[in-house]
Amino acid sequence: MPMWKKEKAVPWERRLLVTETNRFVAIPVPEQDPNVRNKNFEEVCLGYSLEDAQKEASRCLSCKVPQCRKGCPVSVNIPEFIGHIKEGNIEEAARSLWAYSALPAVCGRVCPQENQCEKYCVLKNKGDSVSIGKLERFAADYARNHKVKANPPAPFNGHKVAIIGGGPAGLTCAGELAKKGFKVHVFEALQRLGGVLIYGIPSFRLPDEVVEEEVKKLEDLGVEFETNVIVGRTVTIDALKEEGFEAFFIGSGAGLPRFMNIPGENLNGVFSANEFLTRTNLMHANDDLFDTPLKLGQKVAVIGGGNVAMDAARVSKRLGSDVTVVYRRTEKELPARSEEVHHAKEEGIHFKFLTNPVEILGDEDGWTKGIRCIEMELGEPDASGRRRPVPIQGSEFDLAVDTVIMALGTSPNPLISMTTQGLETEDWGGIIVNETGQSTREDIFAGGDAVTGAATVILAMGAGKEAAKGIEDYLLKK
Ligand SMILES: Cc1cc2nc3c(=O)[nH]c(=O)nc-3n(C[C@H](O)[C@H](O)[C@H](O)COP(=O)(O)OP(=O)(O)OC[C@H]3O[C@@H](n4cnc5c(N)ncnc54)[C@H](O)[C@@H]3O)c2cc1C
């Protein structure tokens, strides 16, 4: 018998919900109107009501062998938390999430669920997967709004750990260790905590207060935070060791932007997406009350096709520009989350596929006035398995723009590895670690973008969690 016919095991009140709801069609989530939201920085997605969350949860089949869990890098017990939502016990749903993830309100908003948990949902064979991400977001938001407290940490076990970097990898590692009774101190280079969650991802996708509240939960667990400390410059790992820290986790991310190395990249009006997004998200260049300079043209080209490119494009649109995303492959190969591409299109962003810049063109005063592009076609697959874009000779054309934002990926900053004895890195800068997250120096662990290069929030969190286990084993077995 097909799984979706196993209704008998479902209590009658839940069966009622299921019969009102088409098992194979997801309950839609309300969103701001595209023509309104493309002029403001308020959150696009408005989230489920309790009633709709319960209806959506009631579509879950509570599979005995849940495939969805296989797709989650931190192994959230998805049927369990969704089961609590079905029953209307949202506090328990949040507690279930916290047992596996330090940042459920973040993951519910920015994880690429379509390639993870929701990809493996058995309902996908017949229709829409259960909206696991939106339900996660609902439970975490409910807990935040109702001030639900996490369980208290274990008593102090006598060990002190330093975490370098306050992004998702560092925060997760900090939370896991604090729960187990370690004294944890996070050192963050910037003035605010959250890493890319604060300075990269814009507030219309992930409001600052959501990240702040997740950090507050870690403070409640006893984690100490110190901002404006650049490890490798303000203080070194060896100096911290002398202060009594016995083990270290490096979650310093991959904040060094890549450029194309084409003529004209030094012209005024050319930004890295990192700089552009940091100026708006962290330094509030979009807000008249802040004195952050940002001269954005009327016509903006964003080069690249990942989440960073979508964010840069959507922020530029909100600042009043006409925006075109220029990408060298086709729409099918866009690496951004499908929801972000869909939202960008709805908001009026233009796309130019199979197109690559070869030169940025400037005026006599040194300001950008356009891009010379070349048309591309897809050739044989490259090392990544994707078909390689090949330029079509003689197809050059000019695109009139006055700002260019490069969103071509990032690599790890070498500052920490340059100042830390015994810490080895790959040629491209990634810190070398084993399967427990331990680096080539036994007291230093690492994870997240600093190890893998630019990846995803949940992979960074998975690595932070893995390394916390590694640190625990290292310190307790010493
Ligand atoms: C614009 C943008 C949009 C994205 N959108 C998504 C998305 O939708 N979904 C998704 O899953 N992923 C997305 N990502 C990727 C995701 O955000 C990253 O993979 C993730 O944040 C990596 O986490 P991390 O903790 O390793 O590093 P980071 O988030 O980069 O955090 C590293 C932290 O370390 C600090 N640091 C660096 N050097 C030092 C030092 N020497 N001393 C002290 N502190 C230091 C940094 O200031 C930073 O706060 C996006 C990335 C960007 C840039």
Q: What is the pLDDT of residues 231-259, one digit of tens each?
A: 999 999 999 999 999 999 999 999 999 99
Residue 456 half-sphere exposure toward CB, CA atoms < 13 A:
20
What does the pLDDT read at residue 431?
A: 97
Tens digit of each residue's pLDDT (9 = 90 or more) over 386-437: 889 999 999 999 999 999 999 999 999 999 999 999 999 999 999 999 999 9
Residue type, 113: Q
Burial (CB < 10 A; 0-12, 13-18, 19+), residue 409, is middle
Distance of CA 476 to the CA centre of its chain: 32
Atom of ligand 1 nearest to the CA of 171: 25
Task: Give the span between the Cα atoms of 18 and 219, in whole angstroms.
Answer: 40
Best mutation site among 214, 457, 459 for ligand 1 pocket (most ligand atoms within 8 Å of CB): 457
Q: Are 447 and 430 in contact (CB under 8 A)?
A: no
From ligand 1's centre to the CA of 130, what distance in Å? 28
Report which ligand 1 atom has the smallest distance to the Cα of 168: 25
Q: What is the pLDDT of residue 15?
A: 45
Q: Which residues contact 364 (CB under 8 A, 6 or more apart)?
A: none
**What pLDDT does residue 474 have?**
96
Q: Please write the tens of the pLDDT for every residue from 439-458.
A: 999 999 999 999 999 999 99
pLDDT at 132: 97
Identify the weakest region by mean pLDDT among 15-24, 210-219, 274-283.
15-24
Band of residue 126 on the pLDDT scale cut at 50, 70, 90:
confident
Instruction: Check residue 8 and give its pLDDT.
Output: 40
Q: What's the average model confidence in pLDDT over 276-295?
A: 86
Position 285 confidence tier, pLDDT thresholds 50, 70, 90: confident
Distances (CA, A) of 219 to 195, 226, 280: 17, 12, 27
Ligand 1 center–CA 6 separation, angstroms: 43
- Tell me: pLDDT of 129 over 80: yes
Atom of ligand 1 nearest to the CA of 311: 1
Pocket mutation for ligand 1, best pick of 256, 307, 419, 459 (most atoms within 8 Å of C-beta): 307
Residues with CB under 6 A from ligand 1: 110-112, 164-170, 187-190, 195-196, 200-201, 229-232, 251-253, 255, 277, 307-308, 311, 337, 413, 415-416, 448-450, 454-458, 460
- DSSP tag of 3: G
* pLDDT of 261 above 50: yes
Which residue do the tokens 């069966």 mark?
15
β 397-399/368-381 pair status: antiparallel
* Arithmetic mean of pLDDT over the chain: 92
- pLDDT above 70 for 170: yes
pLDDT of 370 above 60: yes
pLDDT of amino acid 478: 72
Contact 454, 195 (CB under 8 A): no
Nearest-angstrom CA–CA distance, 231 and 250: 10
